[in-house]
Each structure stands twice: as structure tokens, then as C-alpha cells.
Amino acid sequence: MCGRFFIYGLSWEDYRAYLDMINAEDISKTRAAFNVAPTQKAPIVRMTEGGDKPELAHATWGLVPRWWKKPLAEKKFSTFNAKGEDVAEKATFRASWKDRPCLVPMSGFYEWKGKAGAKQPYAIGLRNRRVFFTAGLWDRATIDGETVDSFTILTTTPNKLMADIHKRMPAIPRQDQISDWLRGSPEIRAEMIEPHDAEDMHAWKVSKDVGNVRNQGEELIKPVE
């Protein structure tokens, strides 16, 4: 699974270097965040309404399907992750899988290892990469007259690095697959739901302070003994 992530040091020029995007929202909103958690807002990349260009937008982490009409407080099921292997079959994600793929930019994510009460958090990132994109889906619901944009991160089986830490990991398309993820058919996207190359990733122990969502700051991603 992927229940926390961090993103930092990115400018509009950095985003443009990875994707030919239009600036749909104020780039100043994409400030550094070192402990992003479900229910919080975060940047995503999706296709514009016309479908001709990727755009940067902000959405709530935890997908709210378009058919949901009740108050959000009544939504009791978890949707911050979706299993890539069966996402096309789940009622919550089925429609988004067909027509609303997105990418979730991040600098890395957190995962915990060990027994309950003594779990050690790890930060995981790509070597020599300040930003990468995880595969996601987004949707738009209208609740009490208010538009709610939200997203989920797709997960897959772990590679050799992640298998020692957790049984799931985010699906991370390769750089040459990013355009196809946004523009391709569900059949094309399904082929990208696979573990990322373990040799391209690294993991390090970080402070247990990351367990509290109220804690922020670059010190959360610094290695600890």
C-alpha cells in the first residue's frame, strides 16, 4: 500500500521538463510537503477536458466515485489505494479506470516495517530522481452542490527492495510510459501495472515522527540509525 508520501523542490520548469503540461492551477500551491496523508489535497497530473494536453490540478487523496451523493462523513470505505490487478472490476474505481487516469507526482513515499507497536518507518525513492510519478485514477463527484475532485494511487506486487518492507508498492510507470498512461486505453494501462525496477530504487530508515500527520518538515526524510 501507499499511505504517505512526500514531494519537495519542484518548480513549474521541473514539471514541464517531465511533461508538456499547461499550468491549470497556481504553481505556488505545489509547495513542499513532507508528510502527505489521505484526505489531504495534493497535486495530480491529468488530461484537460478536451483531452489534448496534460494539466496540473489539486485533488483530495481518497477517491470519491462520481456516483457518491451522500456527505463525505458517511463514506466509511477506504479509497486512497486501489489494487491494480482488479481495479477494473471494483464498482468504486471501474468508471475512473476507463476514462480518468492520472499521475501523482512525488519525491518518495513512506512505508512501515516490523511488529505492531515497534514499526520502523522507511522512506523510499528513485535513485538520482527528484520527482517521479505514480499511477493513479481521479474522479469528480458533486455533493451538496459542491464539486469534489479526488484521486487514488494504484498499487502492485512488490519488487525485491519493497518485498523486504511491505507486500505492496505503488505502481510507477517508466518515464517513457507516462504519456501512454494518460492517453492510452485501459488495456494499455493494464500492462503498466507492474513492480518498478528495484535497482532504480532505494530505501532508508527515517524518524518515527512521520507517524504523526501533524509533523512536517524536511527532517522527516533524513536518514536515522
Question: Would you call 54 exposed, middle or buried from its count of C-beta atoms within 10 A (0-12, 13-18, 19+)?
Answer: buried
Grid cell digits, residue 137: 485514477
Report pLDDT digits (tens) over 177-212. Answer: 988 999 999 999 999 999 999 999 999 999 999 999
Number of Cβ within 10 Å of residue 192's Cβ equals 20
Residues 135, 192 contacting (CB under 8 angstroms): yes
Banded pLDDT at 175 (limits 50, 70, 90): confident
Which amino acid, 3?
A: G
Report pLDDT digits (tens) over 85-125. Answer: 999 999 999 999 999 999 999 999 999 998 887 899 999 99
- For the question of whether the overall pTM of this predicted structure is more than 0.85, the answer is yes
CATH value at residue 205: 3.90.1680.10
User: Domain of 209?
Assistant: 5-221
Domain count, the chain: 1
Tell me what the mean pLDDT of segment 8-14 comes to: 72
What is the rounded CA–CA span in Å between residue 157 and residue 129?
Answer: 22
Grid cell digits, residue 111: 512505508
Q: Give the pLDDT of residue 130.
A: 81
Report pLDDT digits (tens) over 137-169. Answer: 999 999 988 999 999 999 999 999 999 999 999
String of b and e for 130-151 (b: at least 16 CB within 10 Å)? Answer: ebbbbbbbbbebeeeeeebbbb
